[in-house]
Structure 1
Amino acid sequence: MAMHLTGMYPDWWKGHRFTRPINAWVLGDTNETIRTTLQQYYVGDPPGRLTFEKRHMGTLHPSVIVSIAPRRGVPGAVDLVKVKHVSGGTSTLLFKSYEQGRKAFQSARIDAVHADEEPPINIYRELLMRLMSVDGNPPGILLVTATPLLGMSETILQFLHPQTLETTISEGDIVSGRAYVQAGWNDNPYLLEEEKARFRETWPAHELEARERGVPSLGLGLVYPVSESAITCMPFVIPDYWPRVFGLDFGWNPSPTAALFAAHDRDNDVLYITGEYAVKELTPQHHAVNLLKLGADWMPGVYDPAGKISSLKDGEKLVDLYQEAGIRYLSKANNSKEEGLMRVLQRMQNGQLKIFSSLSRTLTEFRMYARDEEGIPKKGNDHLMDCLRYIVMSGLGIARSKSNPLQYYRGLGGHELPYTAPAEGDWMRY
């Protein structure tokens, strides 16, 4: 950011270069964090408070600072900094905080923004608007530095999964103008090994990955406080004799219709999540076409009990529409939420639940699935997690292998009757 403000780039610099003075913002959570951290990083201690020899210098050397405007009513805080640019002009650097709200970020054209910790999603979107290309100038750049302790926030999720893309951005890739780098303790040559060891004893395993390796996934208040490495495995070919089942959660927009596909190694009682599906704004018939290709034509499925509500089509039930489209073996899941969450967590902690590492959407939801201040799991971006709960609560008992699939049974008069999960001890009816 200092290079962009001054136009002083080293010869080896291959990134973007501004050949003119720029307007830049530096953003933080609160005015206090800006004063005590970001301000120090950029301009150091305010002039006049200490002698030049004792002052802490920021990244912007005093020789390139034209002027510093203090923030009114906040002793020691800086509002605006003017910086010499090598072209002969002057760049401006303005400090702002998220607590000012979205309106404080409107109606401006900015060349560069440094956001320390990910901004709220409404401010993030506003920043993208401020950086748009206008008046013949190229689009601006947004830099975000964050230790993702609060899980996969909506801002990080939108960054890693742009709505216009079908794939997740991986570290080092440049996709649609976006890229990211993870920096961990091992990237810092000044951290001593004994300090790292002491830190590792301080934090729980699920928080340690975020602090030590910068993994934008695990944080405080997670529903499943388990290390991601403990529940993932590389994909492998599922034996034909392993029972299979899928969980189905109904949606439209903004919530997708979601499904998870699972295989149960009954010999070792390990449940493997092998496939995922999440698509918005399709009818049950269109979803069924996609799900049938994934095995829903022979696998039993357990669905969101809310799916029994009436649809807009002549009062028919959503479940009926899926069954008419060919997904016959559907039964209602047990929707006891807290019990389901504890059963899933118990399997995770016991090594009895594994998720294929290729299921990026599922792992994204796992990373951001958190409880609110009252301990209630947050809604939104939890549909695959709901499918997982349905499978654990209701799917294992009805799972079937491909070599031994469920069949419709014939009722009185020879009519085909839809499959429903039998009651315990009632298997002979099938």
Structure 2
Amino acid sequence: MHLTGQYPEWWDGRRFEKAVVVIAGSESAELTRDGVQRLLVGPPDREEDWGTGFIPQSAIVARTRRMGVSNALDTVTVQHVTGERSTLYLKSYDQGRSKWQANTVDFVWFDEECPEDLYFEGITRTNATKGSVMMTFTPLRGMSAVVQRYLLEPSKDRTTVTMTIDDAEHYSDEERNKIIASYPAHEREARTKGVPSLGSGRIFPVEESLITIAPFPIPDHWPRIGGLDFGWDHPTAAAELAWDRDSDTIYVTKGYRRREATPVLHAASLKPWGEKLPWAWPHDGNNDTAAGPNLASQYRSQGMNLLPDRATFEDGSNSVEAGLMEMLDRMQTNRWKVFSNISEWFEEFRLYHRKNGKVVKEIDDLLSATRYAMMMLRSAELPKQVAFKMPKRDLRGFI
């Protein structure tokens, strides 16, 4: 649409009012030919079909071939509705960043995830024209720096559109289930839902759908507890858990995450969860601070009901691995549910992984707060006292 200027009436996205210069490419020359070129121009192995892609044949004015790769194109000149001519450059990542530097362009299309340096080069190429950059890919490389930028760093200048297998309406439910089952577990959510994959290093290799539940009113007879993870440059985080003791199921019902704020501000946001809500907290809450009392004392002074001692298991231990394994065991046995509206919790859940066998302690604040609360589940309390009045009985005649 941008190359030709032929926009459908329903299109409410960006419109270029002039001919444009576009760079499009993929990981290699062959993948660019078989992907980008096939979609825009037509099947590469049948030159007589060139012009059956998204660019109408009547709009293709000229084309040049790429040397060294059979049936691969280097440039395509496209007639624009203004009478001017647009230019499409076809490139590949394996050419290196220098091959993407020469042009000032209006639009860049990365088909398949590109290296971070190439992504920033694409942005640079569009700065002068105030152009746009688009990427289309399945996030099999996990929570890379590029993916993090889109999913974890909100900006009015960026947006993400996710297509899942449920959007492929030409599949029947039976066909969808068969396709999903054909993928290995660690790739299933990436390939069918666009959830970044972390492969075998993922700490919670559990399908997101198995732990997600729509929010609902928590019964009064379910005890609750909150968990705090203190931070400054990395966020302070809080989570509330509700415990269905009949099924021994934990529900993560609330989440909070905010960086560079004082205990006064955090407490103001968290006290509405319940003034009597008990709060589990980590060992660093006892550390002295230059500003005065330790963190635990500062939160208590703001009216929050922090437990007397830091979070530990019942035997007094506080192993991170033990906590993670209990969380995973509950997820795998259908005893762990998370309200679907806690988007920040799921962001961390998707990212949480190991490297060289060790837990990567990055973007894990809500998960840590959740783990502290789970460790102290024995201290969970009912949101309000429930009084029971026993009926009077005539006990005469009983011995």
TM-score of Structure 1 vs Structure 2, range by shorter chain? 0.7 to 0.9
Question: Residue 246 of structure 2 corresponds to which residue in structure 1?
Answer: 267
Cα offset, 1:362, TM superposition: 0.9
1:401 corresponds to: 382
Deviates more, 1:75-84 or 1:88-97: 75-84
Q: Which of 239, 258, 269 is residue 279 of structure 1 equivalent to?
A: 258
Q: How far apart are residue 365 of structure 1 and its match? A: 1.6
Aligned to 2:301: 324
Normalising by the residue count of structure 2, what TM-score does the alignment of the two structures yield? 0.78
Relative to structure 1, is the Cα distance of residues 55 and 111 closer, same or farther in structure 2, using a 3 angstrom cutoff? closer
The corresponding residue for 1:350 is 333
SS at match of 1:37: helix
State the Cα distance separating 1:199 from its structure 2 match: 2.8
For 1:336 and 1:217, locate their aligned partners in 2 and report how far apart those are by CA, in whole Å: 28
User: Structure 2 vs 1, CA of residues 177 and 157 (structure 1 numbering), >3 Å: closer, same or farther?
Assistant: closer
CA-to-aligned-CA distance 1:239-290 (integer Å, 9 cap, x gap): 333221111112112x211111111111221111111110110122322222
CA displacement at 1:103 relative to structure 2: 7.7
Matched, 1:383 2:365: yes
Query: Which residue is 1:167 aligned to?
Result: none
In structure 2, relative to structure 1, the CA distance for the partners of 1:117 and 1:321 (3 Å cut) is: farther
Q: CA deviation at 1:4?
A: 1.3
Report the secondary structure of 1:6's partner residue.
coil
Corresponding residue number in structure 2 for 1:38 = 36
* Aligned partner letter, 1:362: W
Q: Distance in 1 between matches of 2:102 and 2:178?
A: 48
**Other-structure match for 2:190:** 210
Residue in 2 aligned with 1:363? 346
Partner of 1:409: none
Residue in 2 that maps onto 1:420: none
| 1:313 alignment counterpart | 291
- How many Å apart are 1:353 and its aligned residue? 0.9
State the SS of the aligned residue for 1:239.
Answer: coil
Instruction: Summarize deviations over 1:6-29 as a string: whole Å, max 9, x none.
Output: 223455545433232212122434
Please tell me whether the aligned partners of residues 292 and 327 of structure 1 are also in contact (alpha carbons under 8 angstroms): yes
Partner of 1:117: 112
Q: State the distance in 2 between where 1:261 and 1:108 align.
A: 52
**Could you report, residue by residue, the CA deviation over 1:305-331 in whole angstroms, capped at 9, with x for unpaired residues?**
3444443325x5333333333334233
Two-structure CA RMSD over aligned residues (Å): 3.6
Say which is worse superposed, 276-285 or 77-86, in terms of deviation: 77-86
Q: Per the alignment, in what secondary structure is the counterpart of residue 67 of structure 1?
A: strand
**Which of 17, 20, 25 lines up with 1:22 in the alignment?**
20
Distance 2:311 2:100 in 1: 46
- Residue 135 of structure 2 is matched in structure 1 by 144
Q: What is aligned with 1:84?
A: 79
Shift of 1:35: 4.8
Cα distance 1:257–1:120, how it changes in 2: closer, same or farther (>3 A)?
A: farther
- Matched residues in 1 for 2:222 and 2:373: separation? 15
Matched ranges for 1:42-81 at <5 A? 42-43=40-41, 52-53=47-48, 58-60=53-55, 64-68=60-64, 70=66, 78-81=73-76
1:201 Cα deviation after fit: 3.1
With over 3 angstroms needed to count, the CA separation of the structure-2 counterparts of 1:311 and 1:79, relative to structure 1, is farther
**Partners of 2:98 and 2:184 in 1: CA distance:** 38
CA contact (8 A) 1:80 1:93 kept: yes
Residue 385 (structure 1) shift: 1.4
Tell me whether 1:232 sits opposite 2:227 in the alignment.
no
Deviation at 1:77, TM superposition (A): 5.6
- Mapped to 2, the partners of 1:192 and 1:237 lie a distance apart of 34
Structure 1 269/83 Cα, relative in aligned 2: closer, same or farther at 3 Å? same
Counterpart residue type for residue 165 of structure 2: G
Q: 100-109 vs 262-271, which deviates more?
A: 100-109
User: 2:178 matched to 1:180?
Assistant: no
1:69–1:157 CA distance, 2 compared to 1 (3 A)? same
Mark the CA change 1:183 to 1:265 in structure 2 (over 3 Å): closer, same or farther. Answer: closer
Number of residue pairs matched? 378
| Secondary structure of 1:180 counterpart | coil
Amino acid at match of 2:331: M
CA gap 1:269/1:100 in 2 versus in 1, 3 angstroms: farther
Deviations 1:192-239 (A, max 9, x none): 887655433322456334323x34355523221212221121212223
Residues of 2 paired with 1:397 and 1:194: CA distance?
A: 44
**Amino acid of the structure 2 residue aligned with 1:245:** I
Q: Which amino acid aligns with 2:163?
A: Q
Closer/same/farther in 2, CA of residues 381 and 83 from structure 1, 3 Å limit: same
Alignment gaps of 5+ in structure 2: 313-317, 387-399
Distance, in Å, in 1 between the alignment partners of 2:306 and 2:126 is 51
Q: 2:249 touches 2:337 (CA, 8 Å); kept in 1?
A: yes
Structure 1: segments with no counterpart, 5+ residues: 165-174, 406-430
Aligned-residue offset at 1:381: 1.9
Residue 41 of structure 2 contacts residue 50 of structure 2 at CA under 8 Å; is this kept in 1? no
The answer for the alignment partner of 2:323 in structure 1 is: 340
For residue 347 of structure 1, report the CA deviation from its aligned partner.
0.3
Q: Distance in 2 between matches of 1:9 and 1:140?
A: 17
Is 1:292 the counterpart of 2:271? The answer is: yes
Q: Following the alignment from structure 1 to structure 2, what is the Cα–Cα distance between the partners of residues 180 and 34?
A: 22
Q: Tell me, yes or no, if structure 1 residue 243 matches structure 2 residue 239.
A: no
TM-score (norm 1): 0.73
Deviations 1:142-197 (A, max 9, x none): 33222233445554454356545xxxxxxxxxx767462525365263x6887655
Q: Deviations over 1:50-76 (max 9, x none)?
A: 7734879654466615232526x7777
> Following the alignment from structure 1 to structure 2, what is the Cα–Cα distance between the partners of residues 185 and 261?
31
Quick check: 1:21–1:87 contact (8 Å CA) kept in 2? Answer: yes
Q: CA deviation at 1:357?
A: 1.2
